[in-house]
Amino acid sequence: MTWDLQELFRRHAADITRFLRQRGHDSETAKDITQDTFLRIHNAKKQNNINNIRSYLFRIADNLAKDYFRAAKVQKRYIKPAETFDAIDEVPDPEHIADYRQRLQLLAKAIETLPPRQKEVFLMHKFDGLSHVEIAQKLGITRSAVEKLIIKALAHCRHHLGDLLE
């Protein structure tokens, strides 16, 4: 048995949309879910085992609505609202600019005072973006040695920056 999709849509779409609106969806979302409901019915493989098509349509719509709410909840958790991105466009005040410049100068001095091997490894990792394994292969040393050199370099820089890191 196959259904006349247009006839089903004509008879039941408004009721399903109203049902979804009563469940808290805005008008556009309710319309989208209603369309998805009929798309599901259209793609259903086993259409001959369904006794009450109206009930089946509402069950599909309800399930899709729950999926929509779950997806929205996950999206809200991981994607920040647009207004939080506006802060990037703000120009920092002169105090912050001076503070950043001071930190940058101290960091540059700290890096310059590193022992040659630590400096080389640190720059390869932090500025060239090489992994510990890549640095070890390039310099002919072990990965463990690279890690130790980076840790020492970081400790050296942290010591030179002192209170500015807090």
Predicted confidence (pLDDT) per residue in 137-161, tens digit: 999 999 999 999 999 998 888 888 8
- What are 14-65's pLDDT values in tens digits? 999 999 999 888 889 889 989 988 888 877 756 667 778 888 889 999 998 8
- The answer for residues whose C-beta is within 8 angstroms of residue 5's C-beta and 6 or more apart is 38, 41, 42
Q: Is the pLDDT of residue 135 over 90?
A: yes
- State the helix-helix crossing angle for 53-78 and 5-22, rounded to 10 degrees: 50
Tell me the whole-structure pTM to 2 decimals. 0.46
Closest C-alpha to 148, from 110, 106, 117, 112: 117
Task: Give the architecture-level CATH label for domain 92-165.
Answer: Orthogonal Bundle (1.10)
